[in-house]
Amino acid sequence: MGKRILCASLFVFFLLAGALHCLAAAGEKPPKKAILLVAFGTSVIEAQKSFNVIETEVKKSFPGVETRWAFESRIIRTKLAKEGKVFLSPESALAQLMDEGYTQVAVLSLQTIPGVEFHRLNQNARLFGQMVGGFDKIRIAWPLLSSHEDMERAAKAMLKNIPAERKPQDAVLLMGHGTEKHPSDAIYLAMYGILQELDPNVFLATVEGYPSINAVVPKLKEKKVKKVYLVPFMAVAGDHARNDMSGNKPDSWKSVLDKEGFTCEAVLKGTAEYPEIVDIWIDHLREIFDRL
């Protein structure tokens, strides 16, 4: 008799436990998703319109999803803060989203190559999914140039947006950022090769990597180029584009090329202002967002 009562009690216990579990599951809140856009940042007002283009396209592609920004550069964040414009670091922005109850986050890096900054972002962001009470899911999208297909799409997009008045004999020189501290710098050389296949008078050099402007000047002379269009190959036409590329200081690309006898014309437009380039970033974001 005692065994029957014990068995009956256990049966009722498990039945109630199952019912409570089902009720709890039924009462679970749906996942709360957000998108974090991460850029190095810029304090140049004219260049910030590139970020507006990105944000508009992201919101159009992911309607109703909370979208936030983060700037990686502490110097730029500090400078903007003095102007009353507050931008968080990626880590602070993720902590804020976590505190606000977001459970799933897709992070889009607006870097051009997966270099030092991207891998730092990737490492730190993933920690927010590993900590107790962190995000249920967090995914980090690859930067602009992350495959051969990306490079081909980006090269065709840049060629499509060359100023219409450019003549075939005129050269176009793209300025990438480059890095001396990461093997991903080699992506620029691969990109250079693709551009040359599409148009032999389109060149690419970097500010802080390879190839440099000094490696390109002899090639321009070999082709007897007279005019060079200078075009940023960075998300925004910020400080590098306005000073290192087209500025008047002695070591700017424009000054170097002027001294060598070339006529220069600068195009101050970041890659984030080209719809075809933005589409590549959006595709990378969509790929990870669908896996949240």
The one-letter amino acid at 184: S
Query: Which residue is catalytic, options 148, 177, 182, 240?
Result: 177
The Cα–Cα gap between 48 and 281 comes to 17
Contact 189, 210 (CB under 8 A): yes
Main-chain phi, psi angles of 174, to 5 degrees: -85, 140
21 in catalytic set: no
List the 263-266 sheet strands across, edge first: 202-206, 171-176, 227-232, 263-266
The Cα–Cα gap between 288 and 64 comes to 17
Tell me the CA distances in angstroms from 222 to 141, 171, 200, 206, 251, one per residue in order.
41, 12, 12, 20, 22
Question: Could you list the active site residues?
Answer: 177
